[in-house]
Amino acid sequence: MSADPRVSIHPDSSVLLAAIAARLITKLVDAQDRYGEATIVLTGGSMGIGALKAVGESAACRAVNWSKVNVWWGDERFVEADSTDRNTVQARAALLDRLPLDPERVREPGAAGEFATSDDAAADYARRLAEAAAAEHDADVSDSRRSEPNRVPRFDVLLLGVGPDAHVASLFPEMAGIRETERTVVGVENAPKPPPSRISLTLPAIKSADEVWMLVAGEDKAGAVGLALAGAGPVQVPAAGARGRSRTLWLIDAAAASRVPEELVRKEPASA
- What DSSP letter does each residue of 174-222 carry, written as one string? TSHHHH--S-SEEEE-S-SSSSS-EEEE-HHHHTTSSEEEEEE-SGGGH
Using the predicted structure, report yes or no on whether residue 269 has a pLDDT greater than 60: no
Q: What is the pLDDT of residue 267?
A: 47
Question: How many residues are present in the chain?
Answer: 272
Number of Cβ within 10 Å of residue 96's Cβ equals 19
Q: What is the pLDDT of residue 143?
A: 64
CB 174 within 8 A of CB 191: no
CATH number 3.40.50.1360 given to 5-264: yes
Please state, in angstroms and as integers, the Cα–Cα distance from residue 241 to each residue in 168, 171, 212, 231, 251, following that order. 9, 10, 11, 9, 16
CB 218 within 8 A of CB 248: no
User: Cα(264)–Cα(224) distance, rounded to whole angstroms?
Assistant: 15
User: pTM of the entire structure?
Assistant: 0.94
The torsion angles phi and psi of 138, rounded to 5 degrees, stand at -65, -30
DSSP state of 236: T
Using the predicted structure, report yes or no on whether residue 268 has a pLDDT greater than 60: no
As a whole number, the mean pLDDT across the chain is: 94
- Once rounded to an integer, what is the mean pLDDT over residues 152-181? 98
Q: State the DSSP H helix or E strand holding residue 161, giving kind and residue range, or none if neither.
A: strand 157-161
Number of Cβ within 10 Å of residue 244's Cβ equals 23
- Once rounded to an integer, what is the mean pLDDT over residues 207-228? 97
Digit-coded pLDDT (tens) for 131-140: 999 998 888 7
Confidence of residue 266 (pLDDT cuts 50, 70, 90): low
CA 94 to chain centre: 16
Digit-coded pLDDT (tens) for 117-132: 999 999 999 999 999 9
Domain boundaries, the chain: 5-264
pLDDT: is 209 or 258 the higher one? 209
Confidence of residue 271 (pLDDT cuts 50, 70, 90): very low
User: Cα(272)–Cα(267) distance, rounded to whole angstroms?
Assistant: 11
- Once rounded to an integer, what is the mean pLDDT over residues 104-125? 98
CB 200 within 8 A of CB 177: yes
CA 225 to chain centre: 16
Using the predicted structure, report yes or no on whether residue 256 has a pLDDT greater than 50: yes
